Structure 1
Amino acid sequence: MPPSKKEQSNGLYGMQKQVLSLYRGFLRAARAKSAEDRQQIESLVSSELSRNAKEYLLRRAKKQVDQLRSPDVVGLSALNVSLSQTKHPTN
């Protein structure tokens, strides 16, 4: 099913929505903890999300390089990666 117009305008659909939902879930769950624990949880979740985003982008780029090396491929349509995609979302 194609993304809705609202999802397209926000640029969020599929896996992005799931990741954002999980991130918000972690933040909500952290609110029930002590201030010290909450800060540690938020920091850990943020750094893990950032690290995983960078690893995903690296795997994606390597796959595109491999595809481009194929004699049947003549070019890439686009590689749209914003620096904001590698940072953690804000609540």
Structure 2
Amino acid sequence: MRLSGLQKNVLALYRQCLRECRKKPEASRENFRVFARNEFEKNIKIDKRDFGAIEFLLRKGRRQLDMYASPGVKDIR
């Protein structure tokens, strides 16, 4: 199965989120992983042809990742 460019971008963002989780304190890593997973699962039903919505969510996800990747953020709930 071949993936579209947007699908590759979504998977890349998810992998980046999981990589950032590994940089957090061990006690809160699971919270970050669960948060990332839930954010992606909330939008799993979006039509893959709804490019505008997907691009918006990718931008939103990247902004959230930048914010939560900050070294000052130790936990998320």
Task: Output the CA distance in 2 between the equivalents of 1:47 and 1:36.
Answer: 19
Task: Output the CA distance in 1 between the equivalents of 2:27 and 2:44.
Answer: 26
The reply on whether 1:25 has 2:26 as its aligned counterpart is no
Q: Which runs of 5+ in 1 are unaligned?
A: 1-8, 61-91
TM alignment of 1:80-91, pairs within 5 A: none
Letter in 1 for 2:4: Y
Q: Percent identity?
A: 35
Cα distance, 1:46 vs structure 2: 0.4
Cα distance, 1:32 vs structure 2: 0.8
Task: Output the CA distance in 2 between the equivalents of 1:12 and 1:36.
Answer: 35
Cα distance, 1:36 vs structure 2: 2.5
Task: Output the CA distance in 2 between the equivalents of 1:47 and 1:40.
Answer: 11
Q: Which protein has greater RCO, CA pairs closer than 8 Å, 6+ apart? A: 2
Letter in 1 for 2:3: L
TM alignment of 1:60-75, pairs within 5 A: none
Cα distance, 1:28 vs structure 2: 0.5
Q: Which contiguous aligned blocks of 4+ residues in structure 1 show a shift greater than 4 angstroms?
A: none
Please report the TM-score for the alignment, with normalisation by the length of structure 1: 0.47
Q: Rg larger in 1 or in 2? A: 1
Q: C-alpha root-mean-square deviation of aligned residues, in Å?
A: 1.9
Task: Output the CA distance in 2 between the equivalents of 1:36 and 1:12.
Answer: 35
Q: Which runs of 5+ in 2 are unaligned?
A: 51-77
In the comparison of the two structures, how many residue pairs are matched? 49
